[in-house]
Amino acid sequence: MSLRGQAPRWARLTSTLVAQGTHFATFGTGTAARASPRCPPRLSGPAVFSRNQEPVRPVAHPPTPGWQAETRETLRLAGPLALANLLQMLTYAIDVVFIARLGADQLAASALAVALFGLVLWSLQSLTGAVAPIMAAELGARGPALRPVRRAMRMALWLALVVSLGGMGVCALLGPLMRATGQQPHIAAMATGYMNVLLWSAPLMIVAGVLRNFVATLGRPVFATMITALGIGVNALGNWAFIYGRLGAPEMGLPGAAVATFLTSVAVVAMYA
């Protein structure tokens, strides 16, 4: 039998299979082969597809920015954050200025306490800082990013609260640590009293770090700079009030500096919120 006589027979068979949902591609010679619904074969002959299959259209991607645009955007993001870090160092410098007026022993005690507190705080902030690239990746995917970013932010805040409890426990060991390292008893006592107040600032500072990463990821690093600058004023006013007993506050001496740091942390978190 010739191929011409078989043509109606092949047409009926193909129509039956297509009606059942089977995707076929017919070759020019009249043979048939199974084809994938998503990736139909690229053949020279005509192709037969089901009605539900949609044609694949190419996705248009925006042009890749050049190095000048990348440099400009990097400086726009990194400049305010670098300034915020410098302002944070100024906050510590203001603490030193106010504490130094109390005496050399108080300054030495605060330096010992801040050395351990800073080590614990920066380590935990580095741990929670991993939320920044996670949120940036979700925003850069050009897809629905509200739920993934919100989930990452929520988990980072929970992580900040959990790890801060461990950090507070480490800071509470300052007294035994200084006795083990042979520090003078009166300096160790002052440093322990200072740390017992300062450690309550750790959860707030770690949460503030997460919030700063959040606003930076959203492309608004100026907010972090402004909030840090306002925190300097709160810290200076708190030191003046609680260390020396001004504005009706009790004269607390060295622990007053820790109270000022705690109040500054509360104010910073409130401004971010």
Model confidence over 33-71: pLDDT tens digits? 444 444 444 444 444 444 555 555 555 556 666 777 778
Q: Is residue 224 part of a domain?
A: yes
Question: Is 178 inside any structural domain?
Answer: yes
Distance CA 267, CA 261 (A): 10
Same domain for 118 and 199? yes
Does residue 55 fall inside a structural domain? no
Q: Are residues 35 and 81 in the same domain?
A: no
- 128 lies in the same domain as 257: yes
Same domain, 80 and 155: yes
CA distance 161 to 204: 9
- Cβ neighbors of 41 (< 8 A, separation 6 or more) are 25, 33, 35, 47
Do 124 and 167 lie in one domain? The reply is: yes
pLDDT for the residue numbered 15: 54
What distance in Å separates the CA atoms of residue 10 and residue 231, rounded to the nearest whole number? 81
175 within domain boundaries: yes
Mark whether 171 and 104 lie in a shared domain. yes
Longest Cα–Cα distance of the chain, Å, equals 113
* Inside any domain, residue 167: yes
Whether 70 maps to a domain, the answer reads: no
Contacts made by residues 72-80, CB under 8 angstroms, sequence distance 24+: 77/216, 77/219, 77/221, 78/221, 79/221, 80/221, 80/222, 80/224, 80/225
Residue 143 has pLDDT above 50, yes or no: yes
Do 155 and 199 belong together in one domain? yes
Q: Is the pLDDT of residue 175 over 90?
A: no
Q: What is the mean pLDDT of the chain?
A: 79
Judge if 43 and 103 occupy the same domain. no
**What is the arithmetic mean of pLDDT over 11-24?**
49
Give the DSSP letter of residue 199. G
Can you give the residue range of the structural domain that contains 17?
9-48
Q: Is the pLDDT of residue 31 over 60?
A: no
CA distances from 258 to 57, 153, 265, 272 (A): 63, 29, 11, 21
For 177-206, write each residue's pLDDT tens digit.
888 888 888 898 999 999 999 999 999 999
Calculate what percentage of the chain has a pLDDT beyond 70.
Answer: 75
DSSP reduced 3-state for 63: coil
- On whether residue 267 sits in a domain, the answer given is yes
What is the pLDDT, as a whole number, of residue 30? Answer: 42
Residue 126 lies in a domain: yes
Amino acid at 269: V
Q: Which residues of 119-149 are buried (b: 16+ CB within 10 A; e: fewer)?
A: ebbeebbebbbebbebbbebbeeeeebeebb
pTM: 0.70
Considering the domain architecture, whether residues 116 and 160 belong to the same structural domain is answered as yes
What residues have CB less than 8 Å from 7, skipping those under 6 apart?
A: 30
* 146 plus 187 within the same structural domain: yes
pLDDT of the residue at 24: 44
Q: Are residues 166 and 33 in the same domain?
A: no
What's the total number of domains in the chain?
Answer: 2
Better-scored residue on pLDDT, 24 or 265: 265
Same domain membership, residue 24 and residue 85: no
Would you say residue 237 has pLDDT above 60?
A: yes
pLDDT digits (tens, 9 = 90+) for 107-119: 999 999 998 898 9
